[in-house]
């Protein structure tokens, strides 16, 4: 090891901003992970980003399953409008 190092020609690397993400360990089926990695290669995004987007979309109210009560309401509204 040297006593001193010359950093005068050094360049600063990327500064990582604190994010609102948390590192976790998760077990996924191999075929699921392979599918996300394949989609990531095609889209140019990271596979973890695609997994995050998919999870976020599944939590949105629009992705909630259609219940019998909701279907009745929609049909009732559409029949009245016709």
Report the chain's terminal Cα–Cα distance, integer Å.
84
Q: What is the pTM of this model?
A: 0.57
**Residue ranges of the chain whose pLDDT lies below 50:** none
Any idea what DSSP says for residue 61?
Answer: G
Q: In whole angstroms, give the CA distance from residue 41 to residue 34.
A: 11
Please name which of 30, 36, 66 lies closest in space to residue 53, comparing C-alpha atoms: 36
Q: In whole angstroms, give the CA distance from residue 73 to residue 67.
A: 10
What pLDDT shows up at residue 40? Answer: 96
What pLDDT shows up at residue 72? Answer: 93
What pLDDT shows up at residue 60? Answer: 87
What pLDDT shows up at residue 80? Answer: 92
What pLDDT shows up at residue 66? Answer: 86
């Amino acid at each position: 090891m040297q006593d001193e190092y010359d950093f005068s020609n050094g360049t600063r690397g990327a500064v990582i901003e604190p994010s609102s993400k948390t590192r976790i360990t998760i077990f996924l089926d191999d075929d699921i992970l392979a599918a996300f990695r394949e989609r990531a290669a095609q889209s140019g995004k990271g596979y973890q980003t695609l997994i995050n987007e998919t999870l976020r979309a599944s939590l949105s109210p629009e992705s909630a399953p259609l219940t019998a009560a909701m279907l009745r309401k929609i049909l009732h509204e559409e029949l009245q409008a016709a």
